[in-house]
Chain A
Amino acid sequence: MGETILEMQHIAKAFSGVYALKDAQLTLQKGRVMALVGENGAGKSTLMRILTGIYDHDGGTILYKGQPVHFKNAMQARDAGIAIIHQEFNLFPNLTVAENIFLGDKSVQSHGLVDWQAMNRRAQELVDSIGGTFSVEEKVQELSVQNQQVVEIVKALAANAEVLIMDEPTSALPESEVQHLFRTIRGLKARGVAIVYVSHRLNEIFEICDDITVLRDGVTAFLSEVGATTQQEVVAQMIGKEVTVLYPKQDAEIGGVVFEARHLSDGDTVKDLSFCVHKGEILGLYGLVGSGATECPEALFGLVRGAHGTFLMDGREISLHSPAQAVANRIAYVPPDRHRQGIIRQLSIRFNLTLAVVRRLCTRSVIRRKDEQATVDDYIRKLRVKCAGDSQKVTFLSGGNQQKVVIAKWLATNPALLILNDPTRGVDVGAKAEIYSLISELACAGMAIVITSSEISEILGMSDRILVLNEGVVSREFLRGQADQKSLLSAALMRPDETQGGV
């Protein structure tokens, strides 16, 4: 056992009368990684924000190196050696990567002025060290979501922290990139850094963490060494019941072609993609970063300027130059970056949920309140959105619950083609199972569905058919049951010209 560096005891916190934390406990040891898990809304992020001085706590004590502490803001915590990677990105899009990493850091200043050369050099070293392949002189707004995640991680590393909190650091990273992070974490462990690792991906937790703390409804419900427990037990402790089937995929009757794309290209990553989706079919797209797997859905939904190709919906040619055209052709799209594309944070759950269907809920331009309410209630229940009520602003929901609102918003449109671009990012295991079973039901009812995911198991578990993408073209096709983790990954790594004749 290492030396205890931080203890949080009996932490309580309420937001305008509603408890987020009741009696939370967390003990960190030098050189060990503590997993912090729990359902969406269990209070994980809140606990971490209290630790770093962003929120004040109503009760309980924090001991850091044996002394009671009470940080007033994140800067103070950082100066004391506690750094945090927030669940939601907190980057300055208009500044360069290097500036984001070192903003306000005295170590890159000389005589009170910013030393750009030193700053760029050190930032580039850090980015390189965890496998980033971009220049630190680029502006953050020009980076992909994955690379932005890398910047968030590097930002925390730059603080030379003794306690490092990672609140879902990998939710925007595909599994193939996670190993870079793990290598970094192992390096930090060896240097004696204590790490908190918040994640909904139990595989990762069992790979990288030493201890585990389970939060349930704001109370620390379970403590163990990772080696002494199992995934099943952890899930059961998280949600109070066992989840046996993670991917409740039913066999749907697969009908004729609903949607077809021919020679889709976005002028960049996606080169020449042709595929079709059938009635009742769930089509999985899988590929590494830059393969076009996440870019293809964006192009389909009309989000990419200059994308072109021929598209057929029910045999009729349609054009998809803008989201409005896509929606008019009954295509729905759940985006991976909820903050930029998915929700209007300052508005209520109800408003966000019905935003895409508001016209259907109107009679002569007046919203039928009753129908609106029914729709909203229905989805909040179906997806188990944890909230204080449907008038709560989305910005006050936990990360996973915000994602549920985005999914519900598009499910409500009852589309012919549903495109899910990494839909369960940051959603807990139990809710994931619910969402999958809902998606599966929709497929059974005849909806055509395209899904991408950063998790291989999600693709394997849900798809009737999988297209593996590589360098912007389809490199291989698998039918359900034909592929496993390994064959999928190796197909994704292979160059397209090596796989001639595959299936």
Chain B
Amino acid sequence: MKQHKSRLSRIFSAREMPIIVFTLLVYGAFSVMAPNFNTFNNVSVIAQQITINGIVALGMTIVIMIGGMDLSVGSLLSLCGVFAGMMDNAGLPVALTVLLTLVIGTALGALNGLLIVKLHIPDIIVTLATMNIFRGVAVMVTRSQWITDFSDAFLHIGSSKGGLFSIPILLYVAVAVVFAVCLRWLPFGRLLYAVGGNREAAVLMGLNVPSVKIRVYAVNGFLLGLAGLLFASMFGSIQAATAATSLQFQTMGSALIGGANIFGGAGSVLGTVFGTILLGMIKNGLVQIHASEYWLDFITGAVILLALLVNLIQLRKKGRC
């Protein structure tokens, strides 16, 4: 009995609780305001819409967790998407296209990490540079043309068939579950918290911090490869210059709303997932209630601020800041 109670109270005092509650409240508010919001159909539309941001936000979470920062996510996604599209256009079997895209994403992600570690340049500067480089390469190889006319097999990856059980949503759920398990139970996952929490202590312990960093950026790159594939396949076309241009800020927003600490050492899969859901819901909801387009950015920003405040209250209560 006592055990049961303590478990319940633990659930309610969890870091993620405020953001979950907040998300539900926003959901309720939109349901009241827009008759079509709270329908099975709309929920699966939202779920479909957030998969790409959701996957990228999880990568962003582990990057932020080790005290890093990746501004190049949108560019790398665009580059991977463009490559995937071009390989499909060239008639490669879809399995090979997928494999190669993931390899490219992983490799370029690792490159980010390598540059940061080997040149001792801060993450934000390296990824600012690669943000332009990746985008530039993508634009160059496509000569700024739309890539389209994909094979059916390729289009199948991102199709919304199956509603809540469509391939993109299943992929997102799978990635989230794997991340949650790794961060909680895998020794490497715990090291990420350690490196972000006190880098000096990690070095003194004998941990290979540079290698941890490179691996985190590689995983992040892998996810961007996956997201690039989904992007091209879902929309049926992709243009290098315009794809996912503000992705870094949206995903950072999701991670931070979800409780990640911009200075490293904290971050949670559940939190980030809800952060993504919240932002996706707002976007969808504002359209549903026919809010003026001019209000969209403002309201999104205000909600982010509100969500961060809610987190802060919980931390204050625990006397942490």
Question: Smallest CB–CB gap between B184 and chain A, Å?
Answer: 8
0/1 string, B152-192, CB within 8 A of A gives 1: 00000000000000000000000000000000111100110
Among the stretches B197-205, B222-230, B238-246, B287-295, the one at the interface with A is: B197-205
Convert A72-88 into 0s and 1s, putting 1 for each residue whose CB lies closer than 8 angstroms to a CB of B.
11111110000000100
Q: Are B197 and A109 in contact (CB under 8 A)?
A: no
* Smallest CB separation, A178 vs chain B (Å): 24
B47 at the interface (CB under 8 A from A): no
B contact residues around A116 at 8 Å (CB) = 185
How far, in whole Å, are A69 and B319 apart by their CA atoms in the complex?
46
Task: Check A90 for interface membership: any CB of B closer than 8 A.
Answer: yes
Interface residues of B toward A: which range?
Answer: 20 to 34
Contact A104 B207 (CB under 8 A): yes
Taking residues whose C-beta sits less than 8 angstroms from the other chain, chain A's interface range is 20 to 34
Q: B114 near A: Cβ within 8 Å?
A: no
Q: Are A114 and B194 in contact (CB under 8 A)?
A: no
Please pick, from B185, B194, B204, B320, the residue contacting A141 in the complex, using a CB distance under 8 A.
B320
Q: Which of A91-99, A244-252, A495-503 is found at the contact surface with chain B?
A: A91-99
Complexed CA–CA distance, A53 and B207 (Å) = 12
Residue of A nearest to B65 (CB): A94
A93 touches B187 (CB 8 A): no
Collect the chain B residues with CB atoms within 8 Å of residue A104's CB. Answer: 187, 191, 205, 207
In the complex, the answer to whether A95 meets B207 with C-beta atoms within 8 Å is no
Please count the residue pairs between chain A and chain B whose beta carbons lie under 8 angstroms apart in the complex. 70
Question: Is B266 interfacial (CB-CB < 8 Å)?
Answer: yes
Q: Is B35 an interface residue (CB 8 A)?
A: no
- Kindly state whether residue A113 has any CB partner on chain B within 8 Å: yes
Q: Is B134 part of the contact surface with A, judged by Cβ < 8 Å?
A: no
Q: Pick the contact of B187: A72, A76, A114 (CB < 8 A).
A: A114
User: Complex: how many Å from CA A78 to CA B204?
Assistant: 12
A112 proximal to B (CB < 8 A) = yes
Cβ of B196: which chain A residues have Cβ within 8 Å of it?
94
- Cα distance A73–B186 in the bound complex, in angstroms: 23
| Cβ–Cβ contact A114 & B320, under 8 A | no
Q: A93-B198, A94-B265 are in contact. Are A113 and B205 (CB under 8 A)?
A: no
> Closest CB-CB distance, A47 to chain B, in whole Å?
16
Q: Is the CB–CB distance between A90 and B190 below 8 Å?
A: no
Give the distance in Å from the alpha carbon of A92 to the alpha carbon of B193 in the complex: 8
Contact of A112 among B187, B194, B204, B318 (CB under 8 A): B187
Residue of B nearest to A71 (CB): B206
**Nearest residue in A to B267 (C-beta to C-beta)?**
A94
Contact B198 A53 (CB under 8 A): no
- When the two chains form the complex, which single residue of B204, B261, B266 contacts A74, counting CB atoms closer than 8 Å? B204
Q: Is A54 an interface residue (CB 8 A)?
A: yes
Q: Which residues of A contact B206 (CB under 8 A)?
A: 53, 72-78
With A and B bound together, what is the CA distance between A90 and B205 in angstroms? 9
**Which residues of the other chain, B, contact A99 by a CB distance below 8 angstroms?**
190, 193-194
Q: How far is the CB of A345 from chain B (nearest CB, A)?
A: 10
How many angstroms between the C-alpha atoms of A142 and B266 in the bound complex? 15
- Closest residue on chain A to residue B200 by CB atoms: A90
| A binding-site residues for B, Cβ under 8 Å | 53-54, 72-78, 86, 89-95, 99, 103-104, 109, 112-114, 116, 141-142
Excluding A76-B206, A93-B197, 16 further A-B contacts by CB distance (< 8 Å) are A74-B205, A78-B206, A90-B204, A91-B198, A92-B194, A92-B198, A92-B201, A92-B265, A93-B198, A94-B193, A94-B197, A103-B190, A103-B191, A103-B194, A113-B187, A142-B319
